[in-house]
Amino acid sequence: MTEPNVRSGPCRGVIFDMDGVLVDSEAFICRAACRMFGELGQTVQPEDFTPFIGTGENRYLGGVAEKYGLAVDIDQIKRRTYDIYLEIIQGELEPLPGVHDFIQKCRDLGKRLAVASSADRRKVVGNLNEIGLAPELFDAVIVGEDVEHKKPAPDIFLLAAEQLRLTPEQCLVVEDAVSGVAAAKAAGARCLALTTSFDQDALADADYFAADLSQAADEVLL
């Protein structure tokens, strides 16, 4: 663990990315996307999506479509991908280790809580409900449709802090993706990086590191 680069008083709010932090939905969305492209007559590979993890579904799907030279209606293919995704996660998607306990600890400490995900609201709400974390449990839920500029731009975390009525410097962002860590630091927040999707070297700009929320040290909430 490294000392945080920014400290402006105690941590008063925690902003969670979703995929790779609260849930590991990557395999499910990848399966859904592969199936969707198959319906279009295009065979794609799971590794085609790796460069676009954490950037939101528009780029996740659009980047692969560009790779194969496919002219697509992004809203249409995204809608179909979500149809498939929400079907295949039923009874299968589970929270990552430590999620419920960590959120309860945050609540016990009086932290304000937000989810800030580049995914669309349909996926975010579906995921949260599936793992037993109703969106209403959070003080704010920010999704990809709420901001023009996606990660690594800081916009989503700036908006989350604003909705929590905090400054970014008062917030801890929990992320797992390179673009997410960059966005958190650009916003001026301290960042806990979970090595669920990338190794620590790739996430080196974060302030803290843990394998998952069950391994996060108490100091990250100070």
Catalytic residues: 17, 19
Rounded to an integer, what distance in angstroms lies between the CA atom of residue 107 and that of residue 171?
Answer: 14
Rounded to an integer, what distance in angstroms lies between the CA atom of residue 12 and that of residue 29?
Answer: 32
DSSP state of 112: E
Element (DSSP H or E) covering residue 115: strand 112-116
Q: Give the type of residue at 128.
A: L
3-class state of residue 150 by DSSP: coil
Tokens 């492209």 correspond to: 37
Q: Which of 124, 66, 150, 89 has its CA nearest to residue 74?
A: 66
Rounded to an integer, what distance in angstroms lies between the CA atom of residue 103 and that of residue 137?
Answer: 10
Vertex 125, ends 56 and 222: CA angle to 5°?
80
Residues listed for the chain: 222
Name every residue whose Cβ is closer than 8 Å to that of residue 204 and which is 6 or more positions away in sequence: none
